[in-house]
């Protein structure tokens, strides 16, 4: 196999951006290795069907170790396994996070990563259906749209939250994030618009870009202290090596990128030796600092119908086929609210997702009837977890422990969120639609009871980040240009680089990380001092 200039591992949210940007140079030969397959399945394209991808061939289907603060439960962690990665599987909510999130990165030793640095990139990538403004972009590859057919139940939730005292917010990515409103989504004409649609597909016609699916990376090939290529198994199970003359870029996500570093001998020396891997770089931060957004759902019967229980009926299917509207165009998490669990906090620590549906146990649980779900999500978790190798076998899933709710303040915030969800549900016009409380159940009233319930039912919102964080301290895996410390020609560019998670859904932030990463590789921005 002839050498490439750049070998990118992963065609997910970050990898698609990188493939597009790096192949803009016609003299650069770019290879993308994607372990999954194509993104043609209808459960990818139809918005309301996203959870039907879970635990199928489109999903990496990870699970945590028994979580010590959640009664020893193993928590499910889905990750997209197709072109587009998790941007082909997520709930399509477009959310940047707060300016303070990025300024905290900058202030923690990551110059060039503050809000003022990144806002132009957010705007450059965005094609907002509302048009350009001082803070919003138009003409970019990422289609950001208003929902075509939000359910009346979602509007009831927004109105009830406003009546309860939460301010209206028509744009969570405008001047302020706090408040309640309908979410904007990654959709075009009622169809999912993934990063593969936005970035990879337009670049695929370029002769200098090669995308290989069914290609499972097994380790980074090192020549001395330099990354010289990637070892992988192709779609027939044959061992291959893709050579990189300029750089190897891991864009495999917050679980697979640290796994690949460790398989390549880059990680905590004691752990690598324990699983039989020779140590190349003793980097104790690899796989640490794992963060995700925990949530717990409050669910009611809907006495007025109007939920997504009718989404698969022939009339709804016909409406979607003919008009790309109706229940099947729903992203399920139709409305959001950003609130403070404690009024003395400086900023919101909870994000509510409202779904006009029975969405329990990641959508696996069934309910015979109409229901609605309010899910308070902790967006500023204090708890931190880790990822380690189960063995030296690249095919073995890594060990994951999130330590969800290890910090008492995290549990207290979720309990406050459950109580607020109940208060909103008791406020008109939502109260009229709320019948019996299905979860957590009216018999649970006290804070200890609700905390116990939260630990028994808490799930994760599919936003793992932080496991190859950038920074200037000894525990940072990467420098502020996303270069792996101790290895030349190797970068990590995906959600794993975040020092701390952002307040809200993480796909927009991941896309911008890749966009800035491409600028750094191409020398289009100067390294920040």
| pLDDT tens digits for range 56-111 | 999 999 999 999 999 999 999 999 999 999 999 999 999 999 999 999 999 999 99
What average pLDDT does the segment 127-136 reach?
A: 96
Rounded distance, CA 208 to CA 206, Å? 5
Rounded distance, CA 378 to CA 384, Å? 13
The residues assigned a catalytic role are 463
pLDDT at residue 254 tops 80? yes
The residues, ordered by sequence, that sit 6+ positions from 409 with a Cβ below 8 Å of its Cβ are: 382
Rounded distance, CA 5 to CA 186, Å? 31
Residue 401 host element (H or E):
strand 399-401
Which runs of consecutive H residues, i.e. helices, occur in 23-97? Answer: 42-45
Instruction: Quickly state the pLDDT bin for 299 (edges 50, 70, 90).
Output: very high
Q: What is the pLDDT of residues 382-404, one digit of tens each?
A: 999 999 999 999 999 999 999 99
3-state secondary structure of 52: helix
Instruction: Quickly state the pLDDT bin for 267 (edges 50, 70, 90).
Output: very high
At 442, give phi and psi (nearest 5°).
Answer: -65, -15
pLDDT at residue 342 tops 80? yes
Matching CATH number, 148-182+294-378+406-457, of 3.30.420.40, 3.30.410.40, 2.60.40.3080, 3.40.50.720: 3.30.410.40
The pLDDT value recorded for residue 528 is 66
Rounded distance, CA 68 to CA 13, Å? 31
3-state secondary structure of 457: helix
The whole model's pTM is what?
A: 0.97
What average pLDDT does the segment 272-296 reach?
A: 98
What average pLDDT does the segment 420-425 reach?
A: 98
Q: Please list, residue by residue across 471-487, b when 16 or more beta carbons sit within 10 angstroms of its beta carbon and e when fewer do.
A: beeeebbbbbbbbbbeb
Q: For the chain, how long is the longest CA-to-CA vector?
A: 68
Pairing of strands 76-77, 335-339: unpaired
At 289, give phi and psi (nearest 5°).
Answer: 70, 25
With beta carbons less than 8 A apart as the criterion, state whether 178 and 503 touch: no
The pLDDT value recorded for residue 26 is 96
At 338, give phi and psi (nearest 5°).
Answer: -110, 120
pLDDT at residue 491 tops 90? yes
What average pLDDT does the segment 44-62 reach?
A: 98
Whether domain 1-35+81-143+193-292+383-404+463-529 has CATH 3.40.50.11260:
no
Domain boundaries, the chain: 1-35+81-143+193-292+383-404+463-529, 148-182+294-378+406-457
pLDDT at residue 529 tops 80? no
Rounded distance, CA 488 to CA 485, Å? 8
């Amino acid at each position: 196999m002839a050498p490439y200039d750049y070998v990118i591992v992963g065609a997910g949210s970050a990898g698609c951006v990188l493939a597009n940007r790096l192949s803009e140079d016609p003299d650069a030969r770019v290879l993308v290795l994607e372990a999954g397959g194509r993104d043609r399945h209808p459960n990818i394209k139809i918005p309301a069907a996203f959870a039907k991808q879970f635990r199928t061939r489109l999903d990496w289907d990870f699970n945590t170790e028994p979580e010590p603060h959640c009664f020893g439960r193993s928590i499910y962690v889905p990750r997209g396994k197709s072109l587009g990665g998790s941007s082909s599987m997520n709930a399509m909510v477009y959310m940047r996070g707060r300016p303070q999130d990025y300024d905290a990165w900058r202030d923690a030793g990551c110059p060039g990563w503050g809000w003022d640095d990144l806002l132009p990139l957010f705007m450059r990538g965005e094609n907002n259906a509302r048009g350009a403004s001082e803070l919003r972009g138009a003409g970019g590859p990422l289609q950001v749209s208003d929902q075509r057919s939000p359910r009346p139940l979602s509007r009831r939730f927004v109105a009830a939250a406003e009546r309860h005292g939460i301010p209206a917010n028509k744009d969570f990515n405008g001047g302020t994030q706090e408040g309640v409103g309908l979410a904007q989504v990654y959709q075009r004409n009622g169809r999912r618009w993934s990063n593969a649609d936005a970035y990879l597909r337009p670049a695929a016609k370029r002769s200098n870009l090669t995308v290989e699916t069914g290609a499972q990376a097994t380790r980074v090939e090192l020549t001395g202290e330099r990354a010289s290529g990637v070892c992988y198994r192709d779609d027939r199970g044959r061992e291959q090596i893709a050579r990189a003359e300029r750089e190897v870029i891991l864009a495999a996500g917050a679980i697979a990128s640290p796994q690949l570093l460790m398989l390549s001998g880059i990680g905590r020396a004691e752990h690598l030796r324990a699983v039989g891997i020779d140590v190349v770089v003793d980097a104790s931060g690899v796989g640490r600092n794992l963060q995700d957004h925990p949530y717990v759902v409050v669910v009611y019967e809907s006495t007025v119908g109007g939920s997504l229980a009718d989404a698969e009926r022939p009339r709804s299917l016909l409406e979607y086929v003919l008009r790309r509207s109706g229940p099947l165009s729903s992203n399920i998490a139709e409305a959001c609210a950003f609130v403070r669990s404690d009024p003395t906090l400086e900023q919101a620590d909870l994000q509510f997702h409202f779904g006009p549906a029975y969405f329990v146990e990641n959508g696996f649980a069934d309910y015979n009837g109409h229901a609605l779900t309010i899910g308070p999500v902790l967006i500023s978790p204090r708890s931190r977890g880790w990822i380690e190798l189960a063995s030296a076998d690249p095919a073995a899933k890594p060990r994951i422990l999130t330590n969800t709710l290890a910090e008492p303040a995290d549990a207290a915030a979720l309990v406050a969120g459950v109580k607020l969800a109940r208060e909103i549900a008791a406020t008109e016009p939502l109260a009229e639609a709320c019948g019996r409380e299905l979860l957590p159940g009216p018999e649970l009233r006290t804070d200890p009871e609700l905390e116990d319930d939260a630990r028994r039912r808490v799930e994760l919102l599919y936003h793992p980040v932080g496991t190859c964080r950038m920074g200037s301290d000894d525990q940072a895996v990467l420098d502020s240009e996303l270069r792996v410390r101790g290895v030349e020609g190797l970068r990590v560019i995906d959600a794993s680089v975040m020092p701390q998670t952002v307040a809200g859904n993480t796909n927009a932030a991941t896309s911008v990380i890749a966009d800035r990463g491409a600028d750094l590789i191409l020398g289009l921005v100067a390294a920040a001092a």
